[in-house]
Amino acid sequence: MKPIPLCWRIVLVRPRNPLNIGAAARALANFGLRELVVVKPYGPVWQETRSAVGAEEILKSARAVEKLEEAIGDANWVVGTTTGSRRTLDRHLIPLTDFARWLRRRKARGRAALLFGSEKTGLSNEHLSYCHGLVRIPTAVHCPSMNLGQAVALFCYELARSGALSVPLPAPKVDRSQPANAQSLEHVLERAARVLGHAGYFKPKTRASQLIKLRRFLLDLGLSSNDARVLGGVLAQVEWKIESAGG
């Protein structure tokens, strides 16, 4: 089985229980992953997360950031995790057991971020709009929701089992044929939003959900790094035209 050359980062979005952060860190260590980022942890929660057997290094180097974008900016692949039970999702859910095949079919390589939502609410629709794919653990219908630390452990195990873990990437080499990373897509989206704003596309009440749809639309285009640069340039030109005409 050929390994999938991905370097994984585990991202916990707003976890509420310090024990779960510790348990997640330990699972990373158990399976040879290294990078943990926590988005907007409650202050005391983050303070209390001091140690986890064998995972001291991982916790010491773990980052806490304020926004999801900071956690995934440089990732070519962003994958969300969900039980898929609480809301009707309009997207295909990849069973965890099928995840490696999904990655292989896409010839995925580079940096990848795996997002886990908070214990209570999971990932929001906005978080999900950043994701190239959504993975679901095939749990029992009457008890679908897993404990956060256990879910992280299952993903780490499955990534290791299926050959989807690579050694840490060396120098951040840009591969322009790979999916544009989250940061450059977000730049394109911001530019597009300004242009569309000038064009009167947004309604004040639905602006947020319109942006989520646009982000999904952009993701689904499957832009490469190069595509994102080209599209960004086009939009910059349009924006300049509109602004200079308006001024």
Q: Considering the complex, what minimum distance in angstroms separates the CB of residue 56 from a second copy?
A: 10
Could you tell me if 179 and 224 are in contact, meaning their C-beta atoms sit under 8 angstroms apart? yes
Q: Considering the complex, what minimum distance in angstroms separates the CB of residue 99 from a second copy?
A: 12
Polymer length of the chain: 247
Q: Does 210 bind a second copy (CB under 8 A)?
A: no
Q: Considering the complex, what minimum distance in angstroms separates the CB of residue 15 from a second copy?
A: 15
Task: Indicate the residue among 97 and 210 with the shorter CB distance to a second copy.
Answer: 97
Residues 172-191 that bind a second copy (CB under 8 A): none
Of positions 124, 150, 183, 210, contacts a second copy by CB under 8 A: 150
Rg of the chain over CA atoms, in angstroms?
A: 19
Q: Dihedrals φ, ψ of 72, to 5°?
A: -120, 0
Could you tell me if 131 and 182 are in contact, meaning their C-beta atoms sit under 8 angstroms apart? no
Q: Does 97 bind a second copy (CB under 8 A)?
A: yes
Tokens of 83: 């039980």
Q: Does 142 bind a second copy (CB under 8 A)?
A: yes
Could you tell me if 181 and 74 are in contact, meaning their C-beta atoms sit under 8 angstroms apart? yes
Task: Indicate the residue among 53 and 199 with the shorter CB distance to a second copy.
Answer: 53
Tokens of 223: 């832009």
Cα dist. 55→6, 37, 61, 158 in Å? 21, 14, 10, 19
Binding letters toward a second copy, positions 155-174, x by CB under 8 A:
--x--xx-------------
Residues 24-53 that bind a second copy (CB under 8 A): 26-27, 29-32, 53
**84-92, 134-142, 186-194, 224-232 -> range binding a second copy (CB under 8 A):** 134-142
Per-residue burial over 63-82, b = 16 or more CB atoms within 10 Å of its CB, e = otherwise: ebbeebeebbbebbbbbbbb
Q: Dihedrals φ, ψ of 130, to 5°?
A: -85, -5
Beta bridge mates, 37: 11, 63
Of positions 140, 167, 171, 245, contacts a second copy by CB under 8 A: 140
Task: Indicate the residue among 138 and 222 with the shorter CB distance to a second copy.
Answer: 138
Q: Compute the distance between CA of residue 51 and CA of residue 149 in angstroms, rounded to an integer.
A: 14
Of positions 121, 147, 206, 237, contacts a second copy by CB under 8 A: 147
Number of chain positions touching a second copy (CB under 8 A): 29
Give every CB contact of residue 223 below 8 A, 6+ residues apart in sequence: 179, 180, 185, 188, 231
Task: Indicate the residue among 53 and 208 with the shorter CB distance to a second copy.
Answer: 53
Q: Does 114 bind a second copy (CB under 8 A)?
A: no
Which residues contact a second copy by CB under 8 A?
Answer: 19, 23, 26-27, 29-32, 53-55, 97, 137-140, 142-147, 149-150, 153-154, 157, 160-161
